[in-house]
């Protein structure tokens, strides 16, 4: 996924574009660039690497102008280098364009343009777009820019969002999207474009979400929106309840650390919003009728990465509480499964970004079988939310760190409350049982705060693992998915190879990994499988493995066997993943930091995988 920005106003476009790109850098950081109309001509600056590299170029060769576009890239076609960096131009440098997504038929189009003597410099799919536009205009296929744009939309295939400027219309920024997010912000005598709120919110909260197959242009004081048939559309600017602090580190070293520490406040907000004084649950805006939900006899949860691990815990909630048969599927596999399903099967899609291509493809697979789709998303204006029959906002707020933390626990919160909600519809939970569970849930924020207060313990451990090569994570039942999540957190931001396993699987092979250099994180909180986790710990000790345990306060047995032991407050077994994951988030973060990694922007990754 890439980040796009655009600006038309009275400010220096260079600085507005750079600030916007910095806010979007988590979407991709292989290269960055801007194009500005400088004294009637398009000036381009672009560079391999993070935005800091682009800033160095601009320091030597600044650009001056008040209209421009910018891009920060996560490479799909063409390696990350200066030539492949966006913006890309036509052969006369009269059009500059930035792009997010994939042009699936770019090679065919490029071959046609090459036969017409067009010269390309990059091996990106993007570069065909400005060349196509100039070909339409030069050949007379299009007499105006509007005609050229409409012709372009008919010609290219794939999911994409673009922004572009034309030398012939120096006061305008054009934009269009067909399956990738784009927002326009309205200021005083200025307009902004961004791939998500983070790029706009420090300038304005008056936002228009551009829908699929819409395009338009803006100047500093005008805005026009059309559909792909060329018909004008009335734009809908709404005021967003987001503050710039939501997208600023406000003193934390990294967004990831800020987002780990935000979790108690987010749970307080979830409790306040979702749980009424009479213990009824409020999923207002959720459009599946209750009687329909009560008839659901099978659920398939499909998701990717961290969201998949949340879904694995959601499965246990849905089977334990509303007694509903539930399966979890990797969305990247589910989309090819052609699953055998009956009428009352419902698919749940879980996605923080709401833009994950594989999960979106899973939704299309479900809809092809006429199944209802409910999505749990952290972005209610996302493609997945729009393409679902109903969605639930997980209320984690904007998550910028590439490694998902607060979104994961917020997903668990909503899967838990949703399972209770469905239980009440299916009469599988008494009022008394429901009250006990909800009262336990309400205690979570203070328990999360107690854990975070002890974060220095984990920070202190981290320096002992600077050169560790392998980590193993073990958990059972509700904490098996937490073991998988802990391994993912560590590997994706510290680059240490880490694997998570169900504790019971350990002796069926993975135990061969254990040496005196392999730390094993064992999630051994008090539960009916505590003794089984103790057996795992004994097995590791017998092989001189390094034992790291997450235990319940007051534990003595596991503590006595541990090389490192972290205590969490006592809690209901079903809710334990929401607490056990926090020390694992902190462990991954602090190890990444002592290893000199960049937790917010790990190599090779992007915040949302919008390509398949
Ligand atoms: C999580 O830390 C990872 N960055 C990644 O696995 C992520 O969970 C996955 O790509 C799914 O993203 P989504 O929740 O936005 O669909």
Token pair listed for 268: 């307080």
Bridge partners for 208 per DSSP: 184
How far apart are alpha carbons 267 and 264 in whole angstroms?
A: 5
If one counts every other C-beta atom within 10 angstroms of the C-beta of residue 337, the result is 14
How far apart are alpha carbons 591 and 187 in whole angstroms?
A: 42
Each residue's pLDDT tens digit, 362-413: 999 999 999 999 999 999 888 899 999 999 999 999 898 999 999 999 999 9
User: If you measure from the C-alpha of residue 309 to the centroid of ligand 1, how many angstroms do you get, rounded to a whole number?
Assistant: 10
Q: Quick one: CA dihedral 561, 565, 568, 573, positive or negative? A: negative
Whether residue 332 has its Cβ less than 6 Å from ligand 1: no
Q: Where are the alpha helices (DSSP H) in 220-356?
A: 255-261, 263-274, 290-295, 305-320, 331-337
Q: What is the pLDDT of residue 292?
A: 85
Ligand 1 atom with minimal separation from the 405 CA: 2
Of 210, 223, 187, 243, whose CA–CA distance to 4 is shortest? 210
Q: What is the pLDDT of residue 383?
A: 87
Whether residue 404 has its Cβ less than 6 Å from ligand 1: yes
Whether residue 609 has its Cβ less than 6 Å from ligand 1: yes
Which residue's CA is the closest to the ligand 1 atom numbered 7?
A: 305
Ligand 1 atom with minimal separation from the 608 CA: 15
Pocket test for ligand 1, best of 74, 196, 254, 305 (most atoms within 8 A of CB): 305
User: If you measure from the C-alpha of residue 351 to the centroid of ligand 1, how many angstroms do you get, rounded to a whole number?
Assistant: 7
Residues 10, 190 contacting (CB under 8 angstroms): yes
User: If you measure from the C-alpha of residue 356 to the centroid of ligand 1, how many angstroms do you get, rounded to a whole number?
Assistant: 8
Across 99-125, average pLDDT: 95
Token pair listed for 177: 């999207």
Each residue's pLDDT tens digit, 292-348: 899 999 999 999 999 999 999 999 999 999 999 999 999 999 988 888 887 789 999
Q: What is the pLDDT of residue 557?
A: 96
- pLDDT higher than 90, residue 290: no
Each residue's pLDDT tens digit, 456-500: 999 999 999 999 999 999 999 999 999 999 999 999 999 999 999
- pLDDT, the chain, mean: 94
Instruction: Give the model's confidence band at 569: pLDDT under 50 very low, under 70 low, under 90 confident, else very high.
Output: very high
How far apart are alpha carbons 270 and 413 in whole angstroms?
A: 8
- pLDDT higher than 90, residue 23: no
Whether residue 356 has its Cβ less than 6 Å from ligand 1: yes
How far apart are alpha carbons 599 and 257 in whole angstroms?
A: 9
User: If you measure from the C-alpha of residue 172 to the centroid of ligand 1, how many angstroms do you get, rounded to a whole number?
Assistant: 36
Residues 301, 326 contacting (CB under 8 angstroms): yes
Instruction: Give the model's confidence band at 608: pLDDT under 50 very low, under 70 low, under 90 confident, else very high.
Output: confident
How far apart are alpha carbons 96 and 69 in whole angstroms?
A: 8
Share of the chain above pLDDT 90, in %: 83
Whether residue 379 has its Cβ less than 6 Å from ligand 1: no
Residue entry with tokens 């070293």: 253
Whether residue 359 has its Cβ less than 6 Å from ligand 1: yes
Instruction: Give the model's confidence band at 611: pLDDT under 50 very low, under 70 low, under 90 confident, else very high.
Output: low
Four-point Cα dihedral 46, 47, 48, 51, nearest 10: -90
Ligand 1 atom with minimal separation from the 303 CA: 16
Across 264-272, average pLDDT: 97
User: If you measure from the C-alpha of residue 198 to the centroid of ligand 1, how many angstroms do you get, rounded to a whole number?
Assistant: 18
Q: Please confirm, yes or no, whether 607 is among the known catalytic residues.
A: yes
Whether residue 346 has its Cβ less than 6 Å from ligand 1: no
Write the DSSP symbol of residue 92: T
Residues 238, 210 contacting (CB under 8 angstroms): no
Pairing of strands 88-89, 223-227: unpaired
Catalytically annotated residue among 186, 258, 434, 607: 607
Ligand 1 atom with minimal separation from the 306 CA: 8
373, containing H or E segment: strand 372-377
Letter string b/e over residues 47-72, b meaning 16 or more CB atoms within 10 A of that residue's CB: bbbbbebbbebbeeeebebbbbbbbb
Four-point Cα dihedral 209, 32, 306, 418, nearest 10: -10
- pLDDT higher than 90, residue 95: yes
Whether residue 306 has its Cβ less than 6 Å from ligand 1: yes
Each residue's pLDDT tens digit, 497-544: 999 999 999 999 999 999 999 999 999 999 999 999 999 999 999 999
Ligand 1 atom with minimal separation from the 356 CA: 16
Whether residue 305 has its Cβ less than 6 Å from ligand 1: yes
How far apart are alpha carbons 505 and 342 in whole angstroms?
A: 32
User: If you measure from the C-alpha of residue 488 to the centroid of ligand 1, how many angstroms do you get, rounded to a whole number?
Assistant: 10
Pairing of strands 325-330, 298-303: parallel
Whether residue 484 has its Cβ less than 6 Å from ligand 1: no
How far apart are alpha carbons 139 and 134 in whole angstroms?
A: 8
Whether residue 402 has its Cβ less than 6 Å from ligand 1: yes
Four-point Cα dihedral 315, 317, 322, 327, nearest 10: 10
Q: Where are the alpha helices (DSSP H) in 515-575?
A: 530-542, 557-561
217: left (phi over 0), alpha (psi -120 to 50) or beta: beta
Most confident of 143-152, 275-284, 328-337: 143-152
Each residue's pLDDT tens digit, 432-464: 999 999 999 999 999 999 999 999 999 999 999
Q: What is the pLDDT of residue 610?
A: 67
Instruction: Give the model's confidence band at 81: pLDDT under 50 very low, under 70 low, under 90 confident, else very high.
Output: confident
User: If you measure from the C-alpha of residue 314 to the centroid of ligand 1, how many angstroms do you get, rounded to a whole number?
Assistant: 16
Share of the chain above pLDDT 70, in %: 100
Q: What is the pLDDT of residue 187?
A: 95
């Amino acid at each position: 996924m890439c980040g796009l920005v655009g600006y038309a106003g009275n400010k220096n476009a260079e600085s507005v574009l750079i600030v916007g790109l910095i806010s979007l850098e988590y979407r991709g950081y292989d290269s960055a660039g801007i194009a500005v109309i400088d004294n009637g001509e398009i000036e381009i600056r672009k560079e391999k690497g993070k935005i800091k590299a682009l800033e160095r170029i601009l320091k030597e060769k600044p650009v001056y102008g008040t209209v421009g576009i910018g891009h920060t890239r996560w490479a799909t076609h063409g390696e990350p280098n200066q030539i492949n960096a966006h913006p890309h131009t036509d052969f006369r440098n009269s059009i500059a364009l930035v792009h997010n997504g994939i042009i699936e038929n770019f090679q065919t189009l490029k071959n046609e343009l090459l036969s017409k003597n067009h010269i390309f410099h990059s091996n990106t799919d993007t570069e065909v777009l400005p060349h196509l536009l100039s070909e339409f205009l030069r050949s007379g296929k299009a007499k105006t820019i509007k005609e050229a744009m409409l012709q372009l939309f008919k010609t290219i295939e794939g999911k994409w969002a673009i922004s572009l400027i034309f030398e012939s219309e120096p006061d305008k920024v054009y934009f269009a999207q067909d399956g990738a997010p784009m927002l326009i912000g309205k200021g005083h005598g200025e307009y902004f474009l961004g791939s998500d709120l983070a790029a706009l919110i420090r300038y304005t909260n008056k936002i228009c979400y551009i829908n699929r197959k819409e395009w338009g242009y803006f100047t500093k004081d005008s805005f026009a929106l059309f559909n792909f048939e060329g018909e004008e559309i009335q734009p809908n600017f709404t005021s967003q309840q987001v503050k710039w602090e939501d997208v600023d580190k406000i003193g934390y070293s990294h967004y990831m650390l800020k987002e780990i520490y935000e979790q108690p406040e987010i749970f307080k907000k979830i409790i306040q919003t979702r749980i009424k004084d009479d213990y009824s649950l409020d999923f207002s805006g959720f459009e599946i009728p209750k009687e329909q939900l009560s008839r659901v006899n099978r659920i398939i949860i499909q998701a990717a990465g961290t969201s998949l691990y949340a879904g694995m815990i959601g499965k246990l909630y849905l089977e334990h509480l509303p007694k509903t048969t539930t399966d979890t599927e990797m969305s990247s596999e589910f989309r090819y499964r052609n699953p055998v399903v009956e009428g009352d099967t419902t698919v749940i899609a879980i996605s923080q970004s709401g833009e994950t291509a594989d999960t979106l493809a899973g939704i299309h697979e479900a809809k092809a079988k006429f199944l209802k789709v409910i999505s749990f998303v952290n972005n209610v204006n996302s493609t997945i939310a729009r393409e679902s029959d109903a969605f639930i906002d997980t209320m984690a707020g904007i998550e910028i760190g590439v490694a998902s933390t607060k979104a994961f626990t917020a997903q668990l919160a909503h899967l838990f409350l949703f399972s209770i909600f469905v239980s009440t519809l299916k009469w599988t939970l008494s009022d008394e049982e429901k009250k006990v569970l909800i009262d336990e849930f309400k205690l979570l924020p203070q328990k999360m705060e107690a854990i975070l207060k002890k974060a220095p313990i984990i920070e202190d451990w981290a320096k002992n693992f600077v050169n560790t090569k392998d980590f193993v994570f073990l958990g059972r039942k509700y904490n098996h998915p937490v073991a998988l999540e802990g391994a993912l957190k560590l590997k994706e931001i510290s680059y240490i190879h880490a694997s998570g396993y169900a504790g019971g699987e350990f002796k069926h092979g993975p135990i061969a990994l254990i040496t005196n250099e392999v730390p094993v994180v064992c999630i051994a909180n008090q539960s009916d499988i505590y003794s089984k986790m103790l057996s795992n710990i004994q097995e590791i000790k017998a092989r001189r493995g390094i034992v790291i345990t997450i235990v319940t306060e007051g534990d003595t047995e596991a503590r006595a066997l541990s090389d490192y032991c972290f205590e969490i407050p006592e809690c209901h077994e079903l809710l334990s993943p929401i607490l056990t994951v926090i020390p694992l988030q902190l462990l991954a973060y602090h190890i990444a930091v002592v290893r000199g990694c960049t937790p917010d922007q790990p190599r090779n990754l992007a915040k949302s995988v919008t390509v398949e």
